Every structure is written in C-alpha cells, then in structure tokens.
Structure 1
Amino acid sequence: MRTSLAFRAIVAAGLIALPGMASAQWRAVNRSEVFPISKGVFEVVNRSSSRTQDYWCAAGDYAITQLRTAATQRIYVSVPIGASQFRSGKRGVRFSLTPPPEGPAPDSYSLSVKKVGENLTAASARNYCYDDLFLDF
C-alpha cells in the first residue's frame, strides 16, 4: 500500500515538533507545570495566569511534595519571569533551593518573581495555593 503524501507530511511535522513538546515532569495543585532542571533547580510554567502567587504556589508545592524539603526551606528566584525554557510562547520562572551567587534579595513586603534572589519559605509559598479556594465563599 502506498502512503499518501499528506500523511507523510503530517508524520514529518509531528516528529519535527516533538522535541519542543516536552511534557511536564509534574503538575502542582494549581495545575502549573514544573520542570526539574538539576538538583534543587526547577522551572514553573503557569497554564494561563501570570499571577505571581501562582508561580510561588507551584514552587512551594513542588519543593514540599516532590523534593521533600522542610517547610522552612527557602526557595529563591534564580531566573526572573521570562520566556519558558520548556514551553514555547509561555512564561516561566526558575527557582532554586540555594541562594544565587549574589545572595538573597533584601527582605521586602512585595511578592515578586521579577528579581533574582527573591525568596520565601516553602510553606509560605505553598500557602498561596489555598488563596483561590476561599475566594468563592
């Protein structure tokens, strides 16, 4: 049987696109995707929202649930929000369990993923997962 030219083109296009279609290694409770990069370093990619709380929620959830860190473990922004390394057209934030070489950011009262060194404890970050649960009441 001869394979149609259209079928071959579809298969070829699928094979070419395959490397860029990496699947998430893990999904946080808020459905954000988390991609491990190296030991204690990972990227969070939100599904549609760009709310800062969603990035921190996924980072805290991943650190506690998958990496089994203590609730007091600090999580640091190692690469600020920008183009995702894993999802084309999406934004991501890279987090680390160790402070960046320039050290942690000074304490502030703002919640940010725009500066290297911004940090929260894993428990504080994970608590942002529960904010949306109580908005409907």
Structure 2
Amino acid sequence: MKSFLSLVAVFAFSFSGCSSEASNFKRTTLGARVYPLEGGVFEVVPQSGGGGPDYWCAASDYARRHLGAGWQMPIYVYRSMAPGEVADRRSTVLFTLNPVASAAPQSQFWRVSAFNVGDSMTVQQGDNQCNVFPRWY
C-alpha cells in the first residue's frame, strides 16, 4: 500500500509539472495557443492542420488582445517554423513586435507560409488572414 501511494504521489507531481506548462498559454479567437516567451517573443501553435494564414491570424489576435498592439503595428517572424520551445509540437513559429533583421533579402513574391526571419505584416494584415478560407468545422 505504501509503494502504491508513493507511485500515485510521483505521478501526481509529474503531471502537475506538465499541466502548469500547458496552462501557460493564451487561446486565440480561432483556438490557437500562444505561449509568451522572454523578451517580447511569443510562440504560436495553431490547431492541428493549420496553415500559414492560421499562424499570422493567431499572432495578430494575440498582439491585439493581449499585448495591446494597434492595427498598424508590425508583427515580425522571430524564428521560422520549427519544433516548439514550450509547446510539444513539431510546427511552431516565434513572433515578436520588435523589429528583427531579415536573414534573407525580401523577395517581390512573398508567401504567407514562408516564415522567413524578419518577415512582417501589420496586425491588421494578420487579422485579414483569419478569414482567407471558409472553415468547415
């Protein structure tokens, strides 16, 4: 009985550590999770199957509702798509409201899902990505 209680205590302790990390996010209007990081950087995790517009939409929603950014404030890609730093997901993007030097020259053909470091769009442009395609769910 004593070993069973010890096992339950270890499980509860390890689960509580996971739930505190998992609860340190803000949910956007369309259900994405955004984790605040150090230095004004935030990690965007859209719902499963989310595409490029979903990342910009979530970044815009978070910047507007939680950081108080105005519609013309630019949002910058801080780190391109990669595994999460906080979230346990393969595809997250880090954004910031602080200017970031571009790693590559800007192309005249810009893609909403490229996520090159330094790419930016305004909060309003990101908000416009929220309704690019109809949602069937």
- The bucket for the TM-score relative to the shorter chain is 0.7 to 0.9
How many residues get paired?
Answer: 133
RMSD after superposition: 2.4
* Percent identity between the two aligned chains: 26
Alignment correspondent of 1:70:
70
Once the two structures are TM-superposed, the CA of residue 102 in structure 1 deviates from its matched residue by 4.2
Once the two structures are TM-superposed, the CA of residue 24 in structure 1 deviates from its matched residue by 3.7
Q: Which amino acid aligns with 2:14?
A: I
CA distance, structure 1, for counterparts of residue 98 and residue 127 of structure 2: 18
Q: Which digits, 9 at most, give the CA deviation of each residue in 1:93-127, with x for residues without a partner? A: 11011222447862543112431111111111112
Question: Given that residues 83 and 89 in structure 1 are in contact (C-alpha distance below 8 angstroms), is that contact kept between their aligned partners in structure 2?
Answer: yes
Once the two structures are TM-superposed, the CA of residue 5 in structure 1 deviates from its matched residue by 2.9
Given the alignment of the two structures, is residue 47 of structure 1 paired with residue 47 of structure 2, yes or no? yes
CA distance, structure 1, for counterparts of residue 10 and residue 64 of structure 2: 41
Q: Which amino acid aligns with 1:70?
A: G
CA distance, structure 1, for counterparts of residue 15 and residue 79 of structure 2: 26
Change (3 A) 1:67 1:15: same
Question: Given that residues 76 and 120 in structure 2 are in contact (C-alpha distance below 8 angstroms), is that contact kept between their aligned partners in structure 1?
Answer: yes
Alignment correspondent of 1:111:
112
When normalised by structure 1's length, the TM-score is: 0.80
Once the two structures are TM-superposed, the CA of residue 8 in structure 1 deviates from its matched residue by 2.7
Once the two structures are TM-superposed, the CA of residue 91 in structure 1 deviates from its matched residue by 2.5
CA distance, structure 1, for counterparts of residue 65 and residue 41 of structure 2: 15
Q: Which secondary structure does the structure 2 equivalent of 1:94 belong to? A: strand
Kindly report which structure 2 residues correspond to 1:1-137, keeping only aligned pairs within 5 A, or say none: 3-21=1-19, 22=21, 23-102=23-102, 106=106, 108-132=109-133, 134=134
Q: Which secondary structure does the structure 2 equivalent of 1:6 belong to? A: helix
Question: Given that residues 32 and 47 in structure 1 are in contact (C-alpha distance below 8 angstroms), is that contact kept between their aligned partners in structure 2?
Answer: yes
Change (3 A) 1:51 1:24: farther
Q: Which secondary structure does the structure 2 equivalent of 1:68 belong to? A: coil
Once the two structures are TM-superposed, the CA of residue 28 in structure 1 deviates from its matched residue by 0.7
CA distance, structure 1, for counterparts of residue 121 and residue 103 of structure 2: 14
Q: Which digits, 9 at most, give the CA deviation of each residue in 1:28-87, with x for residues without a partner? A: 111111111135321111231241111111000011111111111111110111111112
